[in-house]
Every structure is written in structure tokens, then in C-alpha cells.
Amino acid sequence: MMGIKIGDDAPDFTAKTNSGREVTLSEFKGKKNVVLVMYPGDQTSDCTTMLCAFKDEFPRFKAVDTEVFGVNPADAESHQRFVDKEGFPFELIVDEKRKIARLYDALMLLGYVVNRTVIAINKEGKVVFYERGYPSNDAIVAALEGGSEPAKAAS
């Protein structure tokens, strides 16, 4: 895979969430923006910190008409325990066999470990934000709002 670039059509997928709901990315086209938060493991320190940043600022994402999903290969039961423990207001997608991570070029270590990656997809189904690590929610929201230069968090 050549990688994902800003402006690319977001690769479509269908997968189940922690609640057993089936989600197809293309069903959001024309309706809502989507943020995919790829992370390596449920209930690990760094991943909890990453997803809690989305939980803490969830109203900002709702205000720009955005669905947020955490994505990793853990099963629905593991995801549900994580949601219950942390009180996430969004669902976690079960990425069976790391298919979604592969589609979004979010794998490392010989394709086995999910690389922390955040992807924002607008209502037209285009990738408007793609960054590894811990990007600021300011930058993600700015990209979803159509800002030409995403804001960076103050350091």
C-alpha cells in the first residue's frame, strides 16, 4: 500500500462494534464526518490516555457533526470492558485480522501491531486529516471544519 493522503477517498469497510452493531463507513457519506482512532490495545496506559482525550472533548466532535470510533483488533468483549471502565461516549470497532488498519496504512512491526493513527473523514468521504501518534483535537476539529491549516495545540 502506498499510504493514505489528504484528499483521498476513505477506504470503505464494514465491521462490528463493542455493542455488536455493524458499521459500514460509506453509510455515513453525506450524513456525518467520521474520526477513526487506531490504537494498539485496550486498557493499556497510553491507549487509555489517547482515547480519554477524545472522551474529554467529545462535545467538540459532536458540535461538528462527527462520529468517533476507536479501532483495534481486540474482540467485542474486551472493547465493552474498556468502554464500561472508561465511560467512552463512542463505540470501539473490532478490526478482525487488522483489515481496517491495513486499509488505512496503520500497521507497524511486520504488519502485526497497530500504529497509533488518527484519521478524519469528511461527509464527502474524503480523508481530511491523517496523523500518527497523539495529534491535537484542535487540529482534527479544524480539518473537519475545512480549515486550510489545522491549528496546533499550544505546547
Residues known to be catalytic: 47
Residue 53 C-alpha cell reads as 482525550
Dihedrals phi, psi of 55, to nearest 5 degrees: -60, -45
Alpha helices, H only, 9-144: 45-56, 58-63, 76-86, 99-103, 137-144
DSSP class of 2: -
SS3 content of the chain, % helix, strand, coil (to 5): 30, 25, 40
DSSP class of 11: P
